[in-house]
Chains A and B, each alone.
Chain A
Amino acid sequence: MEVSEDLKHIRLEKKHADLGAKMVPFAGYLMPLQYTGLIDEHHAVRNNVGMFDVSHMGEFILKGEKALDLIQRVTSNDASKLTDGKVQYSCLPNDKGGIVDDLLVYRINDDKYMLVVNASNIDKDWDWISKHNTDGVEMENISDNTSLLAVQGPNAAKALQALTDIDLSGMKYYTFEIGTFAGVKDVLVSATGYTGAGGFEIYFNNDDAEKIFDAILEEGKKHDLKLAGLAARDTLRLEMGFCLYGNDIDDTTSPIEAGLGWITKFTKEFVNSEALKKQKEQGVERKLVGFEITEKGIPRQGYDLVNAQGEKIGTVTSGTMSPSLNKGIGMGYVKTEYAKPDTEIFVQIRKKQVPAKVVKLPFYKSK
């Protein structure tokens, strides 16, 4: 990505650079890619605890008695199932069969919701939701004043508990509480994350960023908490088979093709629900699958997937060496006939067709 002059800035940008982070432009922000090294950071999160600054993510607040109706119309999951303090993974289907973005929906109370969206899509999502806001729901984009730290790993609750009165170890996955954290009031602590390692995402105003970050770093020392960057975040999410917008899903991929049928609920009407329902009933021609390289090699985004005859059957959308499994793993769309687990496929890596096997997700099963 080119460094552009209109780069946006997370509040703690300078602090990360001072702490030794390699900073790179990502989704319009200068973000920490890694500190000590991707593999170290990856293992720290999988096996202990690590902290990511993901303040580039976008947050919208929707208020009013029609807020739920609007969310129901623009998202694919059934947000009416949410109760106060619950979070739901969902997506914004477009009207052409693709996906505007994937997001988290937080129900703060029955007429106040928070939507958490991808940094690269903040403007696009805002415009899309605004366009569908025909009932005057009050919308506020708090992305520019909101910081987000993800403290992830099996020891996250232990590492953070001394900083808050919220009972962290008692929190269920995909729930949140608003409380005092590191002496700061009204901090939203959510038992969510993008790593599959467990842990919390902590949302607060930028003005408290330094205080909260420093407190976690200081308290984290007792627990050997490591700072982790976007590079480790990507290998961790890919080991779980979590989709990354822009790689595995985009404006042209349908949630059904992407294996997001579980968040596409036909209990209600939403943008393009008729067409997606038909897709679900009639089947799709391609599907997003996970695959493991069975010999040596690392799949990369954009590589061709081929069959035993060397004919192209799909494309890799995400690929990496898995630090936890120590092998090449990837996701990609393949013709549906090749989508069953254990199907042998091949990845075209430079001049070689390297054998791979379709597997069930996640790649990494937590102990």
Chain B
Amino acid sequence: MNIPADLKYTKEHEWVKIEGDTATVGITDFAQSELGDIVYVEIETEGETLDADEVFGTVEAVKTVSDLYMPVSGEVVEVNEALEDEPEAVNQDPYGKGWMIKVKMTNPEEAENLLTADQYKELIGQ
């Protein structure tokens, strides 16, 4: 299971990459493997400002559906539109081409509450 050390994580199996006040968000390798073949990523919150833990979208696998949660509060400033035509990128490259949104954080200190790679590993029992 690939869990890059330089990223932060949530209990809901999102990863977060912090650069200044921008957070890039996707789902972890563990999450994509649990969901199976992903066929549809629905994110209709571009431009909206949401609180941490609010739902920003939904990911549909063939067999199951799962909500996506904001790891931090902020405005959804960009959505990965490539996922519209290529949702399987989330399975193939969850930390790269499979990224989902960029968030302009309203409260960058919230990032300190996120899990480290080691804490996340422990969470999923790796």
Contacts and interface: CB of A to CB of B under 8 A. Distances in A.
A39 B60 contact: no
Interface stretch (B7-15, B32-40, B114-122): B32-40
Contacts of A38: 36-37, 62-63
A320 B65 CA distance: 10
A38 B32 CA distance: 13
A231 B40 contact: no
A88 interface: no
Interface string A277-321: 000000000000000000011101000000000000000000011
A231 to B, nearest CB: 5
Interface string B44-88: 000000000000001010110100000000000000000000000
B42 to A, nearest CB: 8
Contacts of B62: 38-39, 231, 235, 320-321, 323
Q: Which 5 A-B pairs have the closest CB atoms?
A: A39-B37, A321-B39, A321-B62, A298-B60, A38-B37
B36 A320 contact: no
B40 A298 contact: yes
A37 interface: yes
A350 B36 contact: no
Contacts of B39: 298, 321
A39 B63 CA distance: 10
A235 B36 CA distance: 13
A34 B40 CA distance: 20
Q: Would you call the interface of chain B mostly helix, strand, loop, or mixed?
A: strand
A126 B36 CA distance: 36
Contacts of A39: 37, 62
Nearest to A326: B39
B58 A320 contact: no
A187 B40 CA distance: 43
30 contacts: A34-B36, A37-B36, A37-B37, A38-B36, A38-B37, A38-B62, A38-B63, A39-B37, A39-B62, A231-B36, A231-B62, A231-B63, A234-B63, A235-B62, A235-B63, A296-B40, A297-B40, A298-B39, A298-B40, A298-B60, A298-B65, A300-B65, A320-B62, A320-B63, A321-B39, A321-B40, A321-B60, A321-B62, A323-B62, A350-B58
A164 B61 CA distance: 39
Interface string A210-249: 0000000000000000000001001100000000000000
Instruction: Tell which of A37, A297, A298 has the most Cβ of chain B within 10 Å.
Output: A298
Contacts of B40: 296-298, 321
A37 B58 CA distance: 21
A331 to B, nearest CB: 15
Contacts of A300: 65
A34 B37 CA distance: 11
Contacts of B36: 34, 37-38, 231
Nearest to A296: B40
Contacts of A235: 62-63
A323 B40 CA distance: 13
A323 B62 CA distance: 8
B70 to A, nearest CB: 17
A296 B62 CA distance: 13
Interface in A1-60: 34, 37-39
Given A39-B37, A296-B40, 19 more contacts: A34-B36, A37-B36, A38-B36, A38-B37, A39-B62, A231-B62, A231-B63, A297-B40, A298-B39, A298-B40, A298-B60, A298-B65, A300-B65, A320-B62, A320-B63, A321-B39, A321-B60, A321-B62, A350-B58
